[in-house]
Amino acid sequence: MTEGSDQDRRLASLMRSAQDGDDRAYAALLGEVAPLIRRMVRRRLAFLQPQDVEDLVQDVLLSLHAARATYQPARPFLPWATAIVRNRMVDRARRHARQAANEVESDRVSETFAAETTNMHEEGYGDAEALRQALGRLPPGQRRAIELVKLKEMSLNDAAAVSGASAGALKVAVHRGIAALRKALGAKGSAKD
């Protein structure tokens, strides 16, 4: 949703009428705004399931409704609406990240053998506990960046929306965090040897 001149003028006019109590203008406004919100949510929060996208669109519509008295007729409509959409998207992305952090995923292993070497995954980290501890020792910014971008596999833009940091800063934090983890795990591995 960006500030398009004609569209913005039309929506602003509908909003002014809606504020004055015109039901039909309000229905037309929400009907036109809902697809714009849906598109923005899908683009920015690509990790959401379709039902979560629709749930968030409805949440935004409720917030637009709650905040409709704050729209000032002299100002453009789309920046006003976009600020609310962004706010609700950040809220939802935070909630999503919190839920994801509490979920524990495990792979189904059909066969196991007693020998330690047979239980090493081909591309695994080897010692998951050591990795967890090394991750815990990272500075908060780097740890958060790795959790969002690497562990939750979010895009840089989505992770930026969640954390409030810029995509560039996240990229740097991930790079430094990975380097620090390599160093910590490598040092530990060589110490064991």
> What does the binding site for another protein look like in residue numbers (CB under 8 A)?
18-21, 23, 26-27, 30-31, 34, 54, 57-58, 61-63, 65-73, 75-76, 79-84, 87
How far apart are alpha carbons 82 and 40 in whole angstroms? 9
Residue 148's Cβ-count burial label (10 Å; 0-12, 13-18, 19+) is buried
Residue 96 or 181: the one with the smaller Cβ distance to another protein is: 96
Q: What one-character-per-residue DSSP string does 106-133 give?
A: ----S---SSGGGGS-TTS-S-HHHHHH
Residue 44 or 177: the one with the smaller Cβ distance to another protein is: 44
Give the nearest distance from C-beta 142 to another protein in angstroms. 25
Residue 81 or 146: the one with the smaller Cβ distance to another protein is: 81
Give the nearest distance from C-beta 71 to another protein in angstroms. 7
Q: Which residues contact 94 (CB under 8 A, 6 or more apart)?
A: 162
Give the nearest distance from C-beta 99 to another protein in angstroms. 18
Residue 23 or 122: the one with the smaller Cβ distance to another protein is: 23
Give the nearest distance from C-beta 189 to another protein in angstroms. 43
Which DSSP state fits 122? T
Cα dihedral 165, 61, 36, 71, rounded to 10, equals -80
How far apart are alpha carbons 102 and 10 in whole angstroms? 45
- Element (DSSP H or E) covering residue 183: helix 167-192
Give the nearest distance from C-beta 164 to another protein in angstroms. 11
Residue 26 or 135: the one with the smaller Cβ distance to another protein is: 26
